[in-house]
Structure 1
Amino acid sequence: MLVTDNDRDILARTLWGEARGESLSGQIAVAWTIRNRVNDGKNRSWWGEGYVGVCQAKYQFSCWNKTDPNYQFLIGVKKIPFRELAQCRIAADQVIDGKVPDPTGGATHYYATRIKSPAWASKAKQTLKLGGHVFFKDVP
């Protein structure tokens, strides 16, 4: 699959919106979850096609919801702090380029620990807890 500069930018912005308070390792884990969705041929109609399609698919990553406070930053109306976005770009590039292994064990889902555990998590296999996120695969 051809990965464009736009794919890299949208993935980095998604990492900022979803995991900017995390360490580089935490951002890499979130990026791998997105990459696992990109590479999962079974659910493309739900998750979207490619990095842009997966990141911006409805009901997938709340930071892209028009009502989310992060949205104005993601679309460029407000400026993301340079250093924060730079770290997200490093994580995005490392994952897209395959320079780091998948720490999530194939996760396709995660949730932030600051929210109540979603219903789907009780029926899925937890693969990793890192920073403020819990990662899962085999989500029904």
Structure 2
Amino acid sequence: MTQREQDIDVLARTIWGEARGEGQGGQVAVGWCIRNRVEMDLHNDGKPDWWGEGYAGVCKAPWQFSCWNKSDPNSPYLHGDKPIPAAQFMQCRESAVAVIDGHEPDPTGGATHYYSTTMKKPPAWVKGATRTRKIGRHIFFKDVP
């Protein structure tokens, strides 16, 4: 598998784990949040950032995208232990390609973080962060301290 195909696969799996019920607009938004992390150099120092490098590094960084956590019910699907329904995965893959290839503009306003409105309360990191958008069941933020 080429690096491009690996990036598409990991991003599509993450989109499936985080936003499969959102429709393409919400899926693209989650994908762009990840792309924004991939492209950002937090300290403008050229060194690896705490949230990982590249699509696989960002998506699989511990405690960043919960679908990859071993305790998450989505984890066996993302690791290939259980099959992801083909139609759902194809839609997530299309969203991943649209994000990576820039076929869809960033709808998040440069967000690097989000949380789901299904959470009982917002995570602590929202304090001091700039809310950029609400898309579907996700609220997006940038400038997270």
- Residue 74 in structure 1 maps to residue 107 in structure 2: no
SS in 1 for 2:50: helix
SS in 1 for 2:81: coil
SS in 2 for 1:110: strand
Q: Which residue in 2 is equivalent to 1:133?
A: 138
| Distance in 2, Cα, partners of 1:74 & 1:11 | 10
Deviation at 1:49, TM superposition (A): 1.0
SS in 1 for 2:96: helix
Q: Which amino acid aligns with 1:113?
A: T
Q: Which runs of 5+ in 1 are unaligned?
A: none
| Distance in 2, Cα, partners of 1:45 & 1:132 | 27
- Residue 105 in structure 1 maps to residue 109 in structure 2: yes
Q: Which amino acid aligns with 1:29?
A: A
| Distance in 2, Cα, partners of 1:119 & 1:106 | 20
- Residue 123 in structure 1 maps to residue 124 in structure 2: no
Q: Which amino acid aligns with 1:129?
A: K
What is the TM-score with the length of structure 2 in the denominator?
Answer: 0.92
**What is the aligned residue count?**
139
Q: Which runs of 5+ in 2 are unaligned?
A: none
Among the aligned pairs, what percent are the same residue?
Answer: 60
Deviation at 1:110, TM superposition (A): 0.1
- Per-residue CA deviation, residues 77-128 of structure 1 (Å, 9 max, x unaligned), is 1111011101100100000001111000100000000002111113111100
Of residues 65-74 and 40-49 in structure 1, the stretch that sits farther from structure 2 once superposed is 40-49
SS in 2 for 1:123: coil
Deviation at 1:45, TM superposition (A): 2.6
Q: Which amino acid aligns with 2:117?
A: T
1:48 to 48, 52, 55: 52
| Distance in 1, Cα, partners of 2:76 & 2:38 | 25
